[in-house]
Amino acid sequence: MAYELISTETRGRVALVTLNRPKQMNALNPQLMQELGQALYAFDADDAIGAIVITGNDKAFAAGADIGAMKDWNFIDVYRADYITRDWEHIRRIRKPVIAAVAGYALGGGNELALMCDIVIAAENAKFGQPEINLGVLPGAGGTQRLPRAVGKAKAMDMCLTARMMDAAEAEKAGLVSRVVPLEKLLDEALAVAAKIAAYSLPAVMMVKESINAAYEMPLSEGVHFERRLFHAAFALADQKEGMAAFVDKRKPEFKNK
């Protein structure tokens, strides 16, 4: 598949998607988000892939939705086009783990894209923010919803109401990112994490992702019940037999992803 605003490659069982509008700080326009969705669906359907990394460049993961593209749109334009809903929510339907490797700016929709990924790994120069208030609007791709779940109400209000950016150290402390690494190590670290995940049993990995995401959608007792049912279902996997037998036999498991 030929893409214009992203590039894709594979490294073993890991797929790497690079956002590629460097002159616009990877501003996210509908075409880029459509291409990203297509690439993610293709890798999700590909049995040879076990995990996906999304990255940008050293200066920007993505500086948000494309302001130039949006500036003249009216209510009816965005309502009829189902703006954001149509092109931005593909990532939530991807069942394999998606890791965001963030260097530089992750602002507005860029931060929201990172928040839609399963793991965020940041370079030391990463900056996270929801500066939409500067533009006379509010976050529109989950910033007011996923951000407070990630960092709590106090910091989410602070970021969304003042446009203050968080640096990588604060983002790690607040729970927005899981690891911070030097810029030159960012991609290697993200690819290594993805490769580690991709070597495990794919259905078990998918169940972990599904179960953790369910924690955000249901009360605790229902969530634990959902987890228990998936845990019981895992005993139907050949990989459960292999994983546990390998432990008992003191050897490395050979997962067959079934």
Q: What does 158-176 look like in DSSP terms, one character per residue?
A: HHHHH-PPEEHHHHHHHTS
Q: Does 105 bind ligand CAA (CB under 6 A)?
A: yes
Between residue 4 and residue 63, which ones bind ligand CAA under the rule CB under 6 A? 24-25, 27, 63
Residue type, 198: A
Contact 77, 40 (CB under 8 A): no
Residues in contact with ligand CAA, counted by CB under 6 A, come to a total of 23
H-helix or E-strand containing 181? strand 179-181
Q: Does 139 bind ligand CAA (CB under 6 A)?
A: yes
Kind and range of the H or E run holding 248: helix 238-248
Q: Is 143 in the site for ligand CAA (CB under 6 A)?
A: yes
Q: Quick check: 68 binds ligand CAA (CB under 6 A)?
A: yes
**Cβ proximity to ligand CAA, 149 vs 179, nearer residue:** 149
Sign of the alpha-carbon dihedral angle for 203, 206, 212, 213: negative
Q: Which is nearer to ligand CAA, 70 or 214 (CB)?
A: 70
Quote the least distance from Cβ 193 to ligand CAA, whole Å.
26
Phi, psi of 202 (to 5 degrees): -60, -45
Catalytic machinery residues: 65, 109, 112, 132
By CB under 6 A, residue 132 contacts ligand CAA? yes
Q: Which positions from 153 through 212 interact with ligand CAA, judged by CB under 6 A?
A: none
Centroid of chain to Cα 204: 19
Where along the sequence are the contacts to ligand CAA (CB under 6 A)?
24-25, 27, 63-68, 84, 105, 107-109, 112, 131-132, 134-135, 139-141, 143
